[in-house]
Amino acid sequence: MLMGMLRRIIAVTAMCACVPFVAESAGANATVGDVRTSESDAVEAKMREYGLVDISELDATICVELKYATADNFVGKNMYGGLRKAFFRPEIARAIVAVQRELKRIDSRYSLVIYDAARPQSAQRTMYDMVRGTLKQRYVAKPARGGHHNFGIAVDLSILYDGKPVDMGSGFDTFTEVSHIDNEVWLLRKGLITRAAYDNRRLLRRLMRAQGFTTYKREWWHFQKYDINYARRRFKLLSF
Ligand SMILES: [Zn+2]
């Protein structure tokens, strides 16, 4: 019993350096199970084989909480098996680290929190199969050709303050217009998002754009680099 509890605490802690925030949401993460498995080692080895890097090795202060590795996502299931680390192409990881440094320069109590990173094609297939034929289908790229996440060139992220997520007006993967970024003045005027949420989104976008990231109009949390057709010619799809 005690060992089980200890293992769970270690597992949850290992997910994210921002312990207070994670400890509060331990219930949601309870389905995570053991972090270290041979399967997760194999996935991590594949990521490195494809030239991707684990961002925590570049900057351990960035919080990583992969939502698709828990049941706390729009599908309600873990689609990532044992994967707990945020992998990216090296230049993408370096750009995110630069954003973290700028954020901490503004206020050291800020931190980025990463909700999704490089996504293997097999996880994309699982995700796509789960939403096929539903209204959510349009938010998930088709697995055969892959989207930005399947090349390690996209990130889903937000900002923490003292380890707690700041107000962004809607939660990660809330697929409604409250998450759109092309109507925020209207959202603010209508009282659908707060002034704080409006400002927080603008702060995140300003810092990400300064590092060359582009946005996606339906998701305040999504940023990417490179045109997808360019990426398909130049980079390897994570076909595992
Ligand atoms: Zn995304």
3-state DSSP call for residue 85? coil
Residue 240 lies in a domain: no
Residue range 107-136, pLDDT digits in tens: 999 999 999 999 999 999 998 998 899 888
Residue 103 lies in a domain: yes
pLDDT of residue 207 exceeding 60: yes
Residue 239 lies in a domain: no
- Angle (deg, nearest 10), helices 90-106 and 195-210: 130
DSSP state of 135: G
Residue range 3-17, pLDDT digits in tens: 444 444 433 333 444
Query: Which are the contacts of 206, defined by CB distance < 8 A and separation ≥ 6?
Result: none
Name the domain count of the chain.
Answer: 1
Residue range 30-65, pLDDT digits in tens: 344 455 578 788 899 999 999 999 999 999 999 999
Span from the CA of 220 to the centroid of ligand 1 (angstroms): 9
pLDDT of residue 14: 38
Span from the CA of 6 to the centroid of ligand 1 (angstroms): 33
Span from the CA of 113 to the centroid of ligand 1 (angstroms): 13
Residue 115 lies in a domain: yes
Residue 39 lies in a domain: yes
The residues annotated with a catalytic role in the active site are: 219
Which domain range does residue 205 map to?
Answer: 2-234
pLDDT of residue 122: 92
Span from the CA of 102 to the centroid of ligand 1 (angstroms): 22
Cα–Cα distances (Å) from 92 to 31, 40, 58, 217, 220, in that order, read: 30, 22, 11, 20, 18
3-state helix, strand, coil in the chain (%, to 5): 45, 15, 40
Residue 116 lies in a domain: yes
pLDDT of residue 131: 87
pLDDT of residue 140 exceeding 90: no
CATH number at residue 198: 3.30.1380.10
Residue 171 lies in a domain: yes
Residue 201 lies in a domain: yes
Q: How confident is the model at residue 178 (pLDDT cuts 50, 70, 90)?
A: very high
Span from the CA of 153 to the centroid of ligand 1 (angstroms): 10
Q: Are 62 and 96 in contact (CB under 8 A)?
A: yes
Q: Are 20 and 11 in contact (CB under 8 A)?
A: no
How would you write 178-195 as a 3-class SS string?
HHCCCCHHHHHHCCCCCH
